[in-house]
Amino acid sequence: MDEKDQLIDLLKAKLEKAQNSERRLYTLIQSAPFCIHEINLNGQIISMNTSGLRMMAMQQEAEICGVNYMDFVSSDQKERIDKLLKKAFRGEFSSFEFSPEKSELIFTSCFAPVFNSDGSIERVMGITEDITIQRKHEKELLKSEKLESVGLLAGGIAHDFNNILTGIYGHLQLAALKLSTDHPAALHIETANDAINKASHLSNQLLTFAKGGDPLLEAADVEILIKDSIALSLSGGKIKPHLILADGLWDVDADTGQISQVISNLLINAQQSMPQGGTVIIEAKNIAPTSEISLHGVSKKMVCVSIVDQGVGISEATLSRIFDPYFTTKSSGTGLGLATVHRIIEKHGGFINVESEVGNGTNISFYLNAITDKYSDADISAEKNDILTKSSANILVMDDDEMVVDILSEILTSMTHNVESAFDGQTTIKKYVNAIECGNPFDIVIMDLTIPGGFGGEKVIKELLDINPEVKAIVTSGYSTSSVMSDPQKYGFVGYLIKPFSAKCIEELISKTVAL
């Protein structure tokens, strides 16, 4: 082979290598998961890969070639994007975000110039990526962080707020005890007590919305919960409630504050779906174990509460997402109302069913575990009288708020109990030990769960259990997401007391604790 043939073979090999490199580069560009495109100096698109065509809803490259890049930019962003794109035309790197006209999509693009052999700019190559989902996740994360901050702030406020309510509530009840039932001031005291109950209820609803927390379960009257929620949520509106309550409706095992929030949220949603007014049906009935309940893995007796509106209804596509956090079809909505409802019912061991059709309203039903084994009023009264005939108890009260300590001590003293107080954990432990050494131990210790800057009830109970494994301690709190309040026995307490508390509630709890 002469020198000419060798040179030809060498050129062929280099050409084939260049063609292979070009094919590999073409394959890489076409298979890239983002839009790769070229633009001439007039802003017209020269080429675009397969991902880019899908992104721009184009079938073939010929459809987009010659289209001006700025045609994909919304009118309110054109001036800004045009300036940034011209930076690439001048030989600079440029990057920016933009959205198409009348679209919620968000794209990010970066452009770099492509130079000729003489150093002049021939065209501009860009990479565009759809970051809509990424931005949505960032917004949701920001909402979560804001919600966390709101929860922390609300928790601190609620702790102090409920302590104040406790003082007001307690003094009103003590005043009522010192007045005859026919005294002119008795009605005013009763009205003030109702207002405090509503204030506490609203505070608890805000806290559940902002922070969550395990439910504090107790026997709850569904009829009372429904009627109170109707008065709170539908008062003064265009919606007329129609109640259908079954005879002999069972109590439910529930956190009254959280279930009231569930009912209120569903009533508000029903009201918003009927802007011109209408009737909302609220039905409650007992449900024995059925195939419907079995499908949800539940075989117990339950109570079903249904809220049926005559509103616009929900489309099938939307129906599958209504309990998703931050999903909302309302311009001013947060997307947290129904998500909170679902979370609350789930934590109660219940479940929710939703039936809806566009134009034909919505039926949302939730199921809660029923309590069917109850003492009669006569049994409870007899038991209570038997307990109260026993001698007075020695009680130690711990709370960092002097007003709470004073009112709790006065209420307990009025019930003929002997009371000592402490404002921190160390003092509580010391007084408990001294009482044992003096031969006059405390029968009951009532402790606030949270003591800012010191030992709260959760820490103190560990010390007291080491001293006396049989200690009878009650934990109190005006706000907490701690599981101590939802499952006090797990931590060594015999019961809990939620602020603000009534004298009747204290009397019943002390009687039960003495009887243990």
Is residue 317 very low, low, confident or very high in pLDDT (cuts 50, 70, 90)?
confident
Query: Model confidence over 217-230: pLDDT tens digits?
Result: 888 999 999 998 88
Class of domain 377-515: alpha beta
Q: Which of 136-150, 170-184, 383-397 has the lowest mean pLDDT?
A: 383-397
Residues 6+ positions from 500 with CB-CB distance below 8 Å: 162, 165, 166, 168, 169, 170, 196, 200, 478
Query: Per DSSP, what are the bridge partners of residue 241?
Result: 280
Region 368-372 average pLDDT: 88
Region 389-394 average pLDDT: 68
Beta strands at 218-220 and 251-254: parallel, antiparallel or unpaired: antiparallel
**pLDDT for residue 202:** 65
Q: What percent of the chain is predicted at pLDDT more than 90?
A: 21
Residue 259: alpha-carbon gap to chain centroid: 14
Kindly tell me if the per-residue pLDDT of 87 is higher than 60: yes
Q: What percent of the chain is predicted at pLDDT more than 70?
A: 78
**pLDDT for residue 26:** 63
Kindly tell me if the per-residue pLDDT of 126 is higher than 90: no
More confident residue, 450 or 379: 450
Closest CA relative to residue 190, chosen from 210, 204, 176, 211: 176
Is residue 197 very low, low, confident or very high in pLDDT (cuts 50, 70, 90)?
confident
Q: Which of 139-143, 276-280, 285-289, 403-407 has the lowest mean pLDDT?
A: 139-143
Query: What CA–CA distance (Å, rounded) separates 389 from 385?
Result: 6
Region 422-430 average pLDDT: 93
**pLDDT for residue 465:** 94
**pLDDT for residue 154:** 65
- CATH 3.30.450.20 holds for 32-130: yes
Kindly tell me if the per-residue pLDDT of 331 is higher than 50: no
Query: Model confidence over 2-33: pLDDT tens digits?
Result: 665 666 666 667 666 666 666 675 666 666 77
**pLDDT for residue 336:** 58
Question: For residue 88, what is the enclosing H or E element?
Answer: helix 78-89
Kindly tell me if the per-residue pLDDT of 296 is higher than 70: no
Query: Per DSSP, what are the bridge partners of residue 421?
Result: 397
More confident residue, 294 or 429: 429
Q: Which of 48-57, 300-309, 318-327 has the lowest mean pLDDT?
A: 318-327
Query: What CA–CA distance (Å, rounded) separates 401 from 264?
Result: 32
More confident residue, 276 or 425: 425
- The domain made up of 212-373 has a fold known as Heat Shock Protein 90 (3.30.565)
Q: Which of 63-67, 374-378, 490-494 has the lowest mean pLDDT?
A: 374-378
Query: Model confidence over 355-369: pLDDT tens digits?
Result: 888 888 899 999 999
**pLDDT for residue 243:** 92
More confident residue, 14 or 319: 319
CA distances 148 to 155, 202, 208, 210, Å, are: 10, 19, 12, 7
**pLDDT for residue 95:** 87
Kindly tell me if the per-residue pLDDT of 419 is higher than 80: yes
Query: What CA–CA distance (Å, rounded) separates 152 from 211?
Result: 8
Kindly tell me if the per-residue pLDDT of 417 is higher than 90: yes
- Tell me, what amino acid is at 301? K
Is residue 385 very low, low, confident or very high in pLDDT (cuts 50, 70, 90)?
very low
Kindly tell me if the per-residue pLDDT of 297 is higher than 70: no
Region 475-479 average pLDDT: 83
Closest CA relative to residue 478, chosen from 125, 266, 283, 206: 206
Instruction: Collapse the DSSP code of 153 into the 3-class scheme (helix H, G, I; strand E, B; otherwise coil) and give the result.
Output: helix
Give 301-355 as a DSSP string: -EEEEEEE--S----HHHHTTTTSTT--SSTT--S-HHHHHHHHHHHTT-EEEEE
Kindly tell me if the per-residue pLDDT of 485 is higher than 90: no
**pLDDT for residue 155:** 66
Instruction: Collapse the DSSP code of 140 into the 3-class scheme (helix H, G, I; strand E, B; otherwise coil) and give the result.
Output: helix
Is residue 192 very low, low, confident or very high in pLDDT (cuts 50, 70, 90)?
confident
Is residue 280 very low, low, confident or very high in pLDDT (cuts 50, 70, 90)?
very high
Residues 6+ positions from 429 with CB-CB distance below 8 Å: 455, 460, 463, 464, 467
Query: What CA–CA distance (Å, rounded) separates 155 from 210?
Result: 9
Q: How do the domains of the chain map onto residue ranges? A: 1-25, 32-130, 212-373, 377-515
**pLDDT for residue 418:** 93
b/e burial code for range 215-240 (CB count within 10 A of at least 16 → b): bbbeebebeebbbbbbebbbeeeebe
**pLDDT for residue 440:** 93
Residues 6+ positions from 65 with CB-CB distance below 8 Å: 44, 45, 46, 47, 48
Kindly tell me if the per-residue pLDDT of 396 is higher than 90: yes
Q: Burial of 426 by CB count in 10 Å (0-12 exposed, 13-18 middle, 19+ buried)?
A: middle
Beta strands at 302-308 and 278-287: parallel, antiparallel or unpaired: antiparallel
Query: Model confidence over 427-471: pLDDT tens digits?
Result: 999 999 999 999 999 999 999 988 877 788 999 999 999 999 999
Query: Per DSSP, what are the bridge partners of residue 283?
Result: 244, 306
Residue 185: alpha-carbon gap to chain centroid: 41
Query: What CA–CA distance (Å, rounded) separates 287 from 280?
Result: 22
Kindly tell me if the per-residue pLDDT of 389 is higher than 60: no
Give 394-442 as a DSSP string: EEEEE-S-HHHHHHHHHHHHHTT-EEEEESSHHHHHHHHHHHHHTT---
More confident residue, 176 or 379: 176
Kindly tell me if the per-residue pLDDT of 209 is higher than 60: no
Query: What CA–CA distance (Å, rounded) separates 472 from 394?
Result: 11
Average pLDDT, the chain: 80
**pLDDT for residue 295:** 58
- CB-side exposure of 278: number of CA atoms within 13 Å? 17
